[in-house]
Every structure is written in C-alpha cells, then in structure tokens.
Amino acid sequence: MALPILGLLRYVWSAVKIYVLGFIALLRQIFQKHEVPELHLHTGKIAVVTGGTCGIGFHVSLGLVAKNVHVVMAGHDIQKGKEAITKIREIYPNAKVDYLHLDLASFTSIQNFVENIKARCSKIHILVNNAAIMLAPYKETEDDFESHFQVNYLGHLYLTQSLLGMLRASGTEEFYTRIINVSSIVHNIGSLDLQNFGKRYLSSILKIHEAPSTNKMCTHWLEYSPHAAYANSKLDIVLASWHLSEQLRREASPVTVNAVHPGVVNSSLYKHVHPAIKWLMDLLAKYTYKTPSEGADSILYLALSPSVERETGGYYDNCRKLKTCQLAYSDSVIEQMYILSTDMIQARVN
C-alpha cells in the first residue's frame, strides 16, 4: 500500500509545484510592463521555426516575415502548414514563406527534414526551436522515448546538431547565426538525475511494461507525472543551450545559443490540463495571459535585435536576461547530460 501512496504523493506534488510557479509567474507578468522590441529589416536572412504554423510559433513566423526574413515553418500537420501560409500571405502578399513537414517524435522525420532544408536553402541564419507538448498523457515516440523528452528536447537537439554545419557557415562578423530554444519558467522546478537520465525516459520502465493488463493503467499513472516530464524537458533545454553556447564560443563559431521563456501565454498548449482546474485557467487566460503575438516578442527579440548580437548562453524573459537554475549544476554535470543526450540520439539513428 505504501508504494501506491508514495506514487500518488509524487504525482500531486509535481502538479502543485508547476501550478504554484505558474501562478507566481502570472502575477509577475501582470504587474510587469510588456516589452515590445524595436526591430529592423533583415532582408536576405533565412529562418527555420519549428511549430511555426500555430500559436506562438505562427506569430514568430509572422514577425520574421514582417522584417523581410525568408521563413521556413516546420510542423507535423500539413493542412495547418497550408493555412498558415495563406494567412501570412493575406497580410504580406510578397512574403517569402514555406512549409516543410517535421515530426519531432521521429528521428527519421527529422533526418528527412534536414535533407529537404539543405536541398532548398544554402544558409540558415535563425533557428527557432519552438514546438512543444505540455502535460500530455504518457506516450512513447517511435524511437522509444517518453514524448515530452523527445518532442520538447531531444528532437530539437538532434535537429540543431544536424543543422550546425549550415548554421556555422551562415554566421558573419556582422550577424552571428542565432539559435533560440523556447523553454519555460517551469524549468526551475525540473530535476536532473544523471544516474537515471536515460532509463527514466526510455520505454524499458519495467514496472509499467511488466504490469498485468488489468493493473497497467493504474501502475502507469503512479509511475508517470506529465507535470514532472514537462518541467524536466524544459530544464534539459536550458542546460543544453548553455553547454552548446560554451562549445561554440570556445570554437570561435559565429553562432549564439539562448533560451527563452515566452511568458504565460493563452495557447492550445493547455489542452491537456485536467478539467478540474482548466476552467479556472481558461478564465485567467481570457483576462491576464499574454496573447500568442505577445508571447512571440521575446523570441523575435533574440532572433533579430542588434542588442543581443554575440550574446550567448543566456536565459531571457520579457526581453531581459535572467539568472536560471543552471547555476545549481556544475559544468561537468551539464556536459555529462549533453554527452548522454547525444549518445541516445546516435544509438537510434546509426
């Protein structure tokens, strides 16, 4: 009996932490002036935006197009891609905007996307890793990883590593190539346990898969917290962003890497929130959350503003650089996490 109770307590505690931190972030957002960055035209630049067809990602794509950037929107829904292009061209008839299929839950899809983008573009100046899922029920990807881990973090890491050659070659002394990784304030309650970093995400969680069919869903629920999975994936993003930025800085590569919290934004990400609390969140969203357009502003700031030229390894919120819980981890621990992540990728794609 003790084990189910402990599992239930862990589940509830993870949920409480994420909602309390989210409410604190919302209060700060309400009393804080929203910063709208002043941006100039960037004709000739090419950007890739994952999840660029809807929500915050769509408004990032729209904002980039408004500054004469050629945008390639990446997403897993072809119909949404067509609709997004139509909407953008209704506003900017001469917009340079394309859509390419990308499913971050599949390394094969990522490989195909990279091949397609390399065939279409000779350079990439801006990479916005924006796509995400939040609080989704337990699901494994075709590569046998927990879905938050791969879609939010590992898939983006593989995409970035696969495009790194192009990104390096596209940077100049006047405009460093920019990689923007969309994280969240909830990374502060994420946890990193290197001993269990791999196995906690893989499909070989024996207690789930060896459970009798009649008890499988119960055991599954007690072993898995979507709240913890989401927060952990956002922590992984921040730590990997810092490590890659340091690696590129040592190499003197003209590439910057920064993470960003877009704010508490009214978007479809909240669709998996439990109905018992979703009604309250929907009410708050109507009056207090940022719009997706406002949520895009900090991302656009990092993508285009001259104020952050050559600034790298930072975490931003409302167009301002803030401290993160990255400081709680040693450089060696973060490096080990990054190496383990790369090893996981290579084990699947080789």
Q: Which residues are catalytic?
A: 230
Using only C-alpha atoms, the chain has a radius of gyration, in whole angstroms, of 20
C-alpha torsion 75→76→81→82, nearest 10: 160
Question: What is the C-alpha separation between 335 and 340, in angstroms, rounded?
Answer: 9
Strand partners, 255: 177
Specify whether the CB–CB gap between 101 and 109 falls below 8 A. Answer: yes
The residues with which 71 forms a beta bridge, in sequence order, are 47, 97
Burial of 155 per CB tally in 10 Å (0-12, 13-18, 19+): buried
Q: Which two tokens stand for residue 253?
A: 């590569």
Number of Cβ atoms within 10 Å of the Cβ of 294? 20
Side by side, the strands of the sheet bearing 255-261 are 97-101, 70-75, 46-50, 126-129, 177-182, 255-261, 315-317, 320-322
Helical spans, DSSP H, in 197-266: 206-209, 216-223, 226-250
Say if residue 102 is exposed, middle or buried (CB neighbours under 10 Å; 0-12, 13-18, 19+).
Answer: buried
Question: Burial code of 317-329, b = ≥16 C-beta within 10 A, e = fewer?
Answer: bbbeeeebbbeeb
